[in-house]
Amino acid sequence: MIVSGRSCIAETQSKEKKDTLRWGGAELVEVPAVPFKNPNNYVHIADRLAKRLIAEAGQTGMAGVLYANQWDNLANRRAHIETTGPEIWAQTGGKIDAFSCAMGTGGTLTGVGEFLRSKSPKIKICLTDPCGGAIYRYHPEGVLKAVGDSISEGIGQGRITGNMAGFKPDLAFEITDQIALPIMYDLLEHEGLCIGSSSAINVAGAMRVAKELGPGPTIVTVLADYGTRYASRIYNPSFLRSRNLPVPKWLDDTQKPSNAALLAAVKAVTMPVPPPTPAPAK
């Protein structure tokens, strides 16, 4: 069910993601992208806005307001303990050696990890972080430290969320966009899977886990986003070149025939259509 309401979002998020929220009836509150420690980070603004709306609802009898707070609401982690983890265990017949994915709110990796570890402590739970995320260095060094950046959205957390509390991965990897994007394009070209950059980083991370563990193990990850949510960026050659990111050959506009040549080819294969027969005179 789609319920209209307000959604607070960083203005740097993709146009497609914003449009999807608007199509669902949301009124977007776009704010500058600033670190979490800044009181005007979108998470803090959303919290304060929800509290204000709740206060107003109490005075006017308006419909209730819910601030989901998916980062610190432990229902997020519990949902993966109760559903995603058991689903993976059932579909692999319990024959799983590792689970790997990136962290945004932290609910997926920690929840699935908690369930799978309860089934077998031998299962490796592995973190994949994009460049710009601070969690990759937190576990070995104990310091939240971000290096580089990424065009991925929704992952690459800069703090320990409530859902991450008490969690420690068995393995951790940092994946660059230069590694993830060719994998994303390859999956679209050869497998018909139109995934987003977050999913591409997950796949790249699972491949790193496979190299670490060697031949034979069963490794699971999640495809968490569609490529259509970021089409104006990840399928835009101009944007990719502006960030020094790889452009697949089939998307490279410098390698395509000119419009004139294409129009000439279309004209050559267009069949002549006879004019319609006039209706007989009455």
- CA dist 52 to 8, 114, 120, 236, Å? 14, 36, 46, 40
- Whether residue 242 contacts residue 160, with contact meaning beta carbons closer than 8 Å, is answered with no
- Whether residue 137 contacts residue 147, with contact meaning beta carbons closer than 8 Å, is answered with yes
The verdict on 96 and 29 lying in the same domain is no
Query: Taking every pair of C-alpha atoms in the chain, what is the biggest distance, in angstroms?
Result: 92
pLDDT at 67: 82
The verdict on 99 and 156 lying in the same domain is yes
25 found inside a domain: yes
The verdict on 56 and 112 lying in the same domain is no
212 found inside a domain: yes
How far apart are alpha carbons 112 and 202 in whole angstroms? 14
The verdict on 96 and 229 lying in the same domain is yes
255 found inside a domain: no
Contacts of 60 (CB under 8 A, 6+ apart): none
Contacts of 86 (CB under 8 A, 6+ apart): 115
The verdict on 102 and 24 lying in the same domain is no
Q: Which residues of 85-122 are buried (b: 16+ CB within 10 A; e: fewer)?
A: beebbeeeeeebbbbbbbbbbbbbbbbbbbbbbeeeee
CATH of the domain at 169: 3.40.50.1100
- Whether residue 180 contacts residue 201, with contact meaning beta carbons closer than 8 Å, is answered with yes
pLDDT at 257: 63
Please tell me the total number of residues recorded for the chain in this structure.
282
pLDDT at 275: 82
33 found inside a domain: yes
The verdict on 98 and 216 lying in the same domain is yes
The verdict on 112 and 185 lying in the same domain is yes
The verdict on 104 and 224 lying in the same domain is yes
The verdict on 96 and 23 lying in the same domain is no
Facing residues of 17 across strands?
Answer: none
179 found inside a domain: yes
121 found inside a domain: yes
The verdict on 163 and 55 lying in the same domain is no
98 found inside a domain: yes
* DSSP codes, the chain: ----EEEEEETTS-HHHHHHHHHTTEEEEEE----TTSTTSHHHHHHHHHHHHHHHHHHHTPPP-----TTT-THHHHHIIIIIHHHHHHHTTT---EEEE--SSSHHHHHHHHHHHHH-TTSEEEEEEETT-SHHHHHHHSS----S--S--S---SS--GGGTT---SEEEEE-HHHHHHHHHHHHHHH---B-HHHHHHHHHHHHHHHHH-SS--EE-----BGGGGHHHHT-HHHHHHTT----GGG-GGGSPPHHHHHHHHHHHPPP-PPPPPPPP-
First and final CA of the chain: distance in angstroms? 58
Q: How does pLDDT run along the chain (282 residues), one tens digit per residue?
A: 334 467 888 888 888 888 888 888 888 889 998 888 899 988 898 888 888 888 877 765 555 677 888 999 999 999 999 999 999 999 999 999 999 999 999 999 999 999 999 999 999 999 999 999 999 999 888 889 889 989 888 888 889 999 999 999 999 999 999 999 999 999 999 999 999 999 999 999 999 999 999 999 999 999 999 999 888 899 999 999 999 999 998 888 776 666 777 788 888 888 888 888 888 877
pLDDT at 83: 98
pLDDT at 91: 97
181 found inside a domain: yes
Question: Which domain, by its residues, includes 24?
Answer: 5-60
Q: What is the pTM of this model?
A: 0.84
The verdict on 23 and 126 lying in the same domain is no
The verdict on 101 and 45 lying in the same domain is no
Q: What's the number of domains the chain is made of?
A: 2
For residue 120, how far is the Cα from the chain centroid? 28
